[in-house]
Structure 1
Amino acid sequence: MAEIVLHHYPLSLFAEKIRRSLAYKKIAWRSVEQPMTAPKPELTPLTGGYRRIPVMQIGADVYCDTACIARRLEQLRPEPACFPPGEAGLAGLIEDWADHRLMQQIVPPVVVELFPVLPPGILADRAAMSPALSKDAIFGAAPHALGQALLSLDRLDGQLRDRPFLLGDAFSIADAACFHPVWFMKQGVRLFAAVEARPALAAWLARIEAFGPGDPRPMSAAEALAGARASEPADVAGGEIAAGEGLRPGDAVAIAADDYGPDESRGVVVRLSASEITVRRHDPAVGEIALHFPRAGYRITKQ
């Protein structure tokens, strides 16, 4: 199998969710640092337009969205499990809550605190993805969001008072998803005091940080593109086309997130399961690519 390549940048919340999972599973990976803002000329040949971070690449197979990435990692390295048997559904529900609601509560107050040191133009870049990510919207939302975040921290702290991880004795995708917004609070010293004031939550955070950085090795974006160009999609066989959207193999589709980021990726359907869609696309820079997306949270439009 080709190497696992993670396209990310250090301050990315969602990349930290996957970095923690890789460390927990002790999976070696190649690290390609991408820009925080558009354009991303050495990423879009792989994704065809999708610009959110992280993206995982294995040869000519490209996985978009952490929900899709985490499940592919589970297939590749089932043990130790991030989706515990009998509790995978609950773990997924907590993951969805953290990735959407908890993240939206924590990001605005942290961004406000970090604003003086943020890269120039980053909020203008984010505003192009959604009006809710403009400077005015984030500053306006921050006070209420912080109040809601504190309520969520209380709930997490309560859940962790009699167990090391959210679902019991072992780390799971629920922990990975809740970790990354709480970890982001560390970027704002004043805000992180709220975590430190909750002993069970602070101990849980330290427990996950103790996994260490894992086993990343640097790779240039040019090397990653060359690896895709030298490969053929491998994760395209098996599975049946699931009912839904009236799609069939060979249909041309456009795929875009249904919350923020209007950028579309286009391709031809090769696999559609109950939870994931895989399309093939061609790019002059890399040749044939298989793009993998979760169905939840994405709008799939037949062309």
Structure 2
Amino acid sequence: MAEIILHHYPLSLFAEKIRRILAYKKIAWRSVEQPIMAPKPELTPLTGGYRRIPVLQIGADIYCDTACIARRLEQLQPEPACLPADQAGLAALIEDWADHRFMSQVVPPVVVELLPVLPPGVLIDRAAMSPALSEEAIRRAAPHALGQARLSLDRLESQLHGRPFLLGDAFSIADAACFHPVWFLKQSARLSAEIEARPALAAWLARVEGFGSGDVRPMTAAEALAIARASEPTDVAGGEVAAAEEIRPGDTVTITADDYGPEESRGVVARLSAAEITVRRRDPVVGEVALHFPRAGYRIRKQ
């Protein structure tokens, strides 16, 4: 199998979610560090317009959004499992809550704390993705968001009382999704006290951090593009299309996140299911690639 390549940067919350899963599963991976803000000239040839981090690359198959990435990793290496069969629905619900609501509570107060050390212009860049991510909006949102985050931390503390992980004895995608906002909170020396004030939460954080960084080796973005150029998409077979589905394989579509980030990716539908969509696209830099997206959280428009 082609190498597993993660395009990310160190401070990315969502990349940390995937880095925890890779470490837990002991999957060897290659690390390509991408810029924290646009332009991303060595990422967009793979994704079209999609600029969020992380992106997983396996040859010429490109997986966007951590929900899609996590499930592909689970397919490639089912054990140890991150998607417990008997609690898959609950795990996915917690994942969605953490990736959206909990994350949105943690980001404003932490970003305000980190403003002196963040790269110049990063919030101007983020404001282009959503007005709610401008410096003014984040400063205004921070006090209320921190109060809401404390309520969420209390709930996690309660859930972790008497158990090592959120769903019981084993790490799952629920832990990975809740970990990255707590990990981001820890980036502020002042706000990390919120974690230490909750002993079960602090012990859980240390337990997940104890997985380490895993089997990772660096790779340049140019090397990753060369791998895509020398490969062909392989994960394009299968899928099922409901009779009522308006989009069919062979249709040209655009895919855009429904929360923030106006950039769109365009391609021809290769595979479609209730949960995911795969499109083929061609780029002059890398040739043909297959883009994989979850359907939850994305607008798909037939052209």
Equivalent in the alignment of 2:231: 231
The verdict on how the C-alpha distance between 1:86 and 1:245 changes in structure 2, with shifts beyond 3 A counting, is same
Give the Cα–Cα distance (whole angstroms) in 1 for the partners of residues 238 and 247 of structure 2: 17
Aligned partner of residue 128 in structure 1, secondary structure: helix
Once structures 1 and 2 are overlaid, which stretch shifts more, 123-132 or 234-243? 234-243
Give the Cα–Cα distance (whole angstroms) in 2 for the partners of residues 96 and 29 of structure 1: 25
- Which letter does structure 2 place at the counterpart of 1:210? G
Equivalent in the alignment of 1:6: 6
Give the Cα–Cα distance (whole angstroms) in 1 for the partners of residues 31 and 242 of structure 2: 34
| Aligned counterparts, 1:31-46, within 5 A | 31-46=31-46
The verdict on how the C-alpha distance between 1:7 and 1:242 changes in structure 2, with shifts beyond 3 A counting, is farther
| Aligned counterparts, 1:120-199, within 5 A | 120-199=120-199
Give ranges in structure 2 of 5+ residues lacking alignment. Answer: none
Aligned alpha-carbon RMSD (Å): 0.7
Give the Cα–Cα distance (whole angstroms) in 1 for the partners of residues 268 and 288 of structure 2: 11
Equivalent in the alignment of 1:51: 51
Residue pair 1:245, 1:300 contacting (<8 A) in 2 also: no
Q: TM-score, normalised by structure 1?
A: 0.99
Quote the offset at 1:162 in angstroms.
1.1
- Which letter does structure 2 place at the counterpart of 1:28? A
Equivalent in the alignment of 1:75: 75
- Which letter does structure 2 place at the counterpart of 1:64? C
1:145-169 per-position Cα deviation (integer Å, ceiling 9, x unaligned): 0000000000000000110000000
Q: TM-score, normalised by structure 2?
A: 0.99
Give the Cα–Cα distance (whole angstroms) in 2 for the partners of residues 59 and 297 of structure 1: 25
Give the Cα–Cα distance (whole angstroms) in 1 for the partners of residues 244 and 261 of structure 2: 23
Give the Cα–Cα distance (whole angstroms) in 1 for the partners of residues 6 and 170 of structure 2: 24
Give the Cα–Cα distance (whole angstroms) in 2 for the partners of residues 201 and 194 of structure 1: 10
Give the Cα–Cα distance (whole angstroms) in 1 for the partners of residues 244 and 55 of structure 2: 25
Quote the offset at 1:244 in angstroms.
5.7
Give the Cα–Cα distance (whole angstroms) in 2 for the partners of residues 130 and 296 of structure 1: 19
1:148-196 per-position Cα deviation (integer Å, ceiling 9, x unaligned): 0000000000000110000000000000000000000111010010100
Equivalent in the alignment of 2:85: 85
Equivalent in the alignment of 1:204: 204
Give the Cα–Cα distance (whole angstroms) in 2 for the partners of residues 171 and 268 of structure 1: 37
Matched, 1:66 2:59: no
Give the Cα–Cα distance (whole angstroms) in 2 for the partners of residues 156 and 186 of structure 1: 15
Aligned partner of residue 85 in structure 2, secondary structure: coil
Give the Cα–Cα distance (whole angstroms) in 2 for the partners of residues 205 and 244 of structure 1: 44
Residue pair 1:242, 1:272 contacting (<8 A) in 2 also: no
Give the Cα–Cα distance (whole angstroms) in 2 for the partners of residues 46 and 174 of structure 1: 29
- Which letter does structure 2 place at the counterpart of 1:172? S
Give the Cα–Cα distance (whole angstroms) in 2 for the partners of residues 230 and 241 of structure 1: 31
- Which letter does structure 2 place at the counterpart of 1:208? V
Give ranges in structure 1 of 5+ residues lacking alignment. Answer: none
Residue pair 1:281, 1:289 contacting (<8 A) in 2 also: yes
| Aligned counterparts, 1:237-256, within 5 A | 237-243=237-243, 246-256=246-256
1:67-97 per-position Cα deviation (integer Å, ceiling 9, x unaligned): 0000000000000000011101100000000
Give the Cα–Cα distance (whole angstroms) in 2 for the partners of residues 244 and 46 of structure 1: 31
Between Structure 1 and Structure 2, how many residues are aligned? 303
Aligned partner of residue 67 in structure 2, secondary structure: helix
Give the Cα–Cα distance (whole angstroms) in 1 for the partners of residues 225 and 241 of structure 2: 30
Quote the offset at 1:241 in angstroms.
2.4
Aligned partner of residue 126 in structure 1, secondary structure: helix
Quote the offset at 1:242 in angstroms.
3.7
Give the Cα–Cα distance (whole angstroms) in 2 for the partners of residues 157 and 244 of structure 1: 44
